Amino acid sequence: MAPDRTPDQVRAAAAAMDRARAAGLPDDVLLIMLAAREAFWGEAPWPSHTDLGRVLAEPAAQIVDEVLWWAIRNRMRGSR
């Protein structure tokens, strides 16, 4: 289960998403990352490898959540 987030954490996450979008992150890639975050916490299945690959191909994706970006990267490397 995902941990509860404080209002400050929610604001920081929203600001990171805004910075990533301003840096050119497409909306659909952000949605993939949000789905991957749910999967990371065990609340949903992981997005497809194709979708996760799209996240890794976007340099601005790491701005959203570096820990999640590394989890996606490690998941993709482990599936080879």
Split the chain (80 residues) into runs of 10 and give each run's mean pLDDT.
83 92 95 95 95 96 93 88
DSSP state of 41: T
Q: Which residues, at least 6 apart from 56, have a Cβ–Cβ distance to it below 8 Å? A: 69, 72, 73, 76
pLDDT at residue 27 in the model = 95
Cα 74 from Cα 35, distance rounded (Å) = 16
User: pTM here?
Assistant: 0.85
